[in-house]
Amino acid sequence: MAMRLATEYVKTCLQLTEAEMAVFTQMFVDHEASLQVKVYENGNQEIGFRNESGQEITLSFEKQANLYVCQGTCRLTDNKLVNLMRKAVSLFKGDAIVHRIYTGYTMVYTYKQGAVVKIVERSEAGDKIVFEYKNTLGQLEQMFHKNEVEQEIGRIKAQINSLLDLRNVMQEPAISEQIDERLQKLTHRLFVLEA
């Protein structure tokens, strides 16, 4: 099995409430990481974690309304910190692009709302998609609820009916000919939509 050299959180976005912020920091403290918090006048916070192996990460949280928003990057080599960050992104429904770096290749994980939606193996040979989430049930439901075609069919049938009524009362051949041309186009469109 290949040994991971490092894990890089290239693009991370966490949005935490004050209560979630306490849970977030406690997660790291529970796993024996020392904690250093700097609170600025505007409410922003900078949180530094250091584990027993000496690896340190610093995350900046910007206070926006009643949320703390972290958008940043960090590079980790310690497996405990890597697992804690993965759990945090998952638990707090974060978005992230994570590079798990191995000798000769990199696995790129894309997280949306805390769930992995795509995994790509990146090497000198090129990119290879390993996993991609497809919401087939959601797509099928969306297609089922689409009814634009049925609505257009209803509109065309109504137009055809009114043109037929108009054709039955019309005495002038030139106007009847124009109505017939319009009816021919509408019936062809109706045929295409119903096929």
Range 58-74 burial, b when 16+ CB lie within 10 A, else e: ebebeeeeeebebebeb
Q: How far does CA 156 lie from the centroid of its chain?
A: 38
CATH numeric code, 4-133: 3.30.160.110
Confidence at residue 1, expressed as pLDDT on a 0 to 100 scale: 62
| pLDDT tens column, 18-54 | 999 999 999 988 888 888 999 999 989 999 988 888 8
Write out residues in the chain with pLDDT < 70, as ranges: 1
DSSP letters, 27-88, are HHHHTT-EEEEEE-TTS-EEEEEE-TT--EEEEEEEEETTEEEEEEEEEE--HHHHHHHHHH
β-pairing, 34-39 vs 4-16, is unpaired
Domain borders along the chain are 4-133, 141-194
β-pairing, 126-132 vs 115-123, is antiparallel
Confidence at residue 99, expressed as pLDDT on a 0 to 100 scale: 96
Strand order in the sheet with 126-132: 34-39, 45-50, 56-64, 67-76, 4-16, 95-102, 105-112, 115-123, 126-132
Is the full-model pTM beyond 0.85? no
DSSP category for residue 3: P
Confidence at residue 50, expressed as pLDDT on a 0 to 100 scale: 86
- Let me know: does 108 contact 120? Beta carbons within 8 Å: yes
